[in-house]
């Protein structure tokens, strides 16, 4: 498995990777909360975002992240419309990942990382109850110059243009309970722990 991943890196296929802090055994492409209770905030463990891990890539002046919850049929839409999912970069204050809010994660040198944490804070009485999925899209924008070879093809462009390369997606999902659902589960003998 590791030799296959290293081969991908050598071939310039993997530019952005996500790992739980200190655990580099595999990519974290899905972050799953066990449950979320309305009125109680949930903060994820630290997720490391690497640019060009074990690669020699060009300087990247900007990596962007934004949330997508599909259309009105998806329960996560209410969450991103209201900014209830928030992002903290390297322990900075949390910023809402609401619709249309593209957050710049700053510049990256090759083989460097930044720490991400997500906070989910759904108020009591919100319509969102049940299982939801939010797609977090992470996009690197790197400059490329006239004659630069990308994807094995020769690309001709002006030096001032930027190219979005190798988007990565992190799926955030959980089940949301309201207070009445929790009371019913507790009465039935269920227990909840972090």
Convert 6-25 to b/e letters by CB count within 10 Å (16 or more is b): eeebeebebbbbbbeeeeee
Average pLDDT of span 132-145: 80
pLDDT over 90 at 157, yes or no: no
Domain boundaries, the chain: 7-177
> 2, 26 in Cβ contact below 8 A?
no
Q: What angle do CA 11, 22, 101 make, to 5 degrees?
A: 75
Q: In this predicted structure, what is the pLDDT of residue 163?
A: 57
Q: In this predicted structure, what is the pLDDT of residue 69?
A: 86
Pick the CATH number of 7-177 from 3.20.20.140, 2.20.25.90, 2.60.40.10, 1.10.760.10: 2.60.40.10
pLDDT tier, 73 (very low <50, low <70, confident <90, very high otherwise): low
């Amino acid at each position: 498995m590791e030799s296959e991943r290293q081969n991908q890196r050598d071939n310039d296929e993997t530019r952005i990777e996500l790992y739980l802090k200190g655990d580099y055994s595999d990519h974290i492409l899905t972050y799953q909360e066990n449950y979320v209770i309305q009125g109680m905030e949930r903060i994820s463990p630290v997720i490391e975002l690497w640019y060009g891990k074990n690669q020699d890539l060009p300087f990247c002046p900007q990596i962007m992240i934004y949330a997508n919850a599909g259309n009105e049929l998806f329960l996560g839409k209410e969450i991103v419309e209201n900014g209830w999912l928030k992002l903290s970069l390297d322990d900075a204050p949390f910023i809402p990942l609401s619709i249309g809010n593209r957050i710049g994660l700053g510049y990256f040198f090759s083989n460097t990382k930044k720490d991400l944490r997500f906070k989910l804070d759904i108020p009591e009485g919100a319509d969102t109850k049940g299982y939801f999925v939010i797609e977090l899209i992470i996009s690197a924008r790197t400059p490329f110059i006239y004659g630069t070879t990308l994807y094995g093809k020769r690309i001709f462009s002006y030096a001032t243009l930027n190219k979005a390369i190798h988007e990565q997606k992190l799926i955030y999902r959980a089940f949301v309970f309201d207070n009445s659902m929790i009371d019913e589960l507790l009465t039935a003998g269920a227990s909840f722990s972090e």
